[in-house]
Amino acid sequence: MSDFVLFTHTLWSEAPRIRHQVARLVASAGHRVLFVERAALAGPGPGIREAEPGITLLRGRRLAHHQLRPLPPLDWLNDRVAAASLRGLLRGAGAAPGCTIINFAHDGAFLRREFPDGPLVTLIHDDFEAQARIPWFGHVTRNLRATCRASDRVLAVSTPLVRRLSEWCSPELFLPWSQAPYAAPAPGTAGRDTLLFWGHVDVGLDTERIRSMSRFLAERHPSVRMLFVGPTQVPSRRARTVDRLAGLPNVEVQDARPLEQLPLHRTLAALIPYRRKGDVDATELPNKALPLLSRGLPIMKTGLPHMVRAPFILPVDDDLALDDAIARCRRSFDEWQPLIRAMVDSNGPEARLRTLGIVPAR
In the chain the domains, ranked by start, together with CATH numbers, are 3-176+350-356 (3.40.50.2000), 194-345 (3.40.50.2000)
Q: Count CB atoms within 10 A of the CB of residue 85.
A: 20
Q: How confident is the model at residue 218 (pLDDT cuts 50, 70, 90)?
A: very high
Burial (CB count <10 Å: 0-12, 13-18, 19+), residue 93:
middle
Q: What angle do CA 67, 70, 76 make, to 5 degrees?
A: 100
Q: What is the DSSP letter of 95?
A: P
Burial (CB count <10 Å: 0-12, 13-18, 19+), residue 89:
buried
* Alpha-carbon distance values, 297 to 173, 255, 346 (Å): 25, 21, 17
pLDDT at 115 over 90: no
* Alpha-carbon distance values, 85 to 17, 88, 108, 121, 135 (Å): 25, 5, 14, 21, 28
Q: Count CB atoms within 10 A of the CB of residue 358.
A: 20
**What is d(CA 209, CA 353) in angstroms, rounded to the nearest whole number?**
38
Label residue 267 left, alpha or beta by phi (over 0 means left) and psi (-120 to 50 means alpha). Answer: beta
Read off the pLDDT of residues 70-114 as tens digits, 9 standing for 90 and up.
Answer: 677 787 887 888 888 888 888 899 988 889 999 999 989 999 998
pTM: 0.79
Report the pLDDT value the prediction gives residue 126, as an integer from 0 to 100: 84
pLDDT at 201 over 90: no
